[in-house]
Amino acid sequence: MRQPVVVANWKMNFGRPDQALDFVRRIRHPLNEIKDVDCVLCPPFTVLMAVAETIARTSIRLGAQTMHWEEKGAHTGEIAPTMLAGHCQFVIVGHSERRATGSRTETDAATNRKVHAALAHDMTPIICVGESLAQREREETHAFVSGQVTSAFEGLSEEGASRCVVAYEPIWAIGTSRAATPADANRVVALSIRGAVAERFGEAVAQAVRVQYGGSVSVDNIDGFMAMPEIDGALVGGASLKPDFVELVKRTARATGTRAASARRRSP
Ligand code: PGA
Specify the CATH superfamily of domain 5-266.
Answer: Aldolase class I (3.20.20.70)
Angle at 168 between CA 163 and CA 172, to 5 degrees: 160
Q: Is 130 in the pocket of ligand 1 (CB under 6 A)?
A: no
Cα separation, 196 vs 57, in Å, equals 37
DSSP bridge pairs for 127: 93, 166
Q: Of 97, 106, 131, 169, which one is the catalytic site residue?
A: 169
Atom index in ligand 1 nearest the CA of residue 175 equals 5
Q: What is the pLDDT of residue 263?
A: 84
**How far does residue 235's CA lie from ligand 1's centre (Å)?**
7
**The model's pTM:** 0.97
Closest residue by Cα to atom 1, ligand 1, is 237
Q: Of 95, 97, 121, 131, which one is the catalytic site residue?
A: 95
Element (H, E) at 158: helix 158-163
Torsion of CA 257, 195, 216, 129, to 10 degrees: 130
Mutate to test the pocket of ligand 1, among 9, 99, 248 (most ligand atoms within 8 A of CB): 9
Known catalytic membership, residue 159: no
Known catalytic membership, residue 140: no
Amino acid occupying residue 170: P
- Going residue by residue through the chain, which has 268 residues, state the pLDDT in tens, using 9 for 90 and above: 899 999 999 999 999 999 999 999 999 999 999 999 999 999 999 999 999 999 999 999 999 999 999 999 999 999 999 999 999 999 999 999 999 999 999 999 999 999 999 999 999 999 999 999 999 999 999 999 999 999 999 999 999 999 999 999 999 999 999 999 999 999 999 999 999 999 999 999 999 999 999 999 999 999 999 999 999 999 999 999 999 999 999 999 999 988 888 888 888 6
Closest residue by Cα to atom 2, ligand 1, is 237
Domain edges within the chain? 5-266
Q: Are 139 and 184 spatial neighbours (Cβ–Cβ below 8 Å)? A: no
Q: What is the pLDDT of residue 197?
A: 98
Q: What is the pLDDT of residue 154?
A: 98
- The DSSP annotation for 89-153 comes to SEEEES-HHHHTTT-GGGSHHHHHHHHHHHHHTT-EEEEEE---HHHHHTT-HHHHHHHHHHHHT
Q: What is the pLDDT of residue 26?
A: 98
Q: What is the pLDDT of residue 266?
A: 85
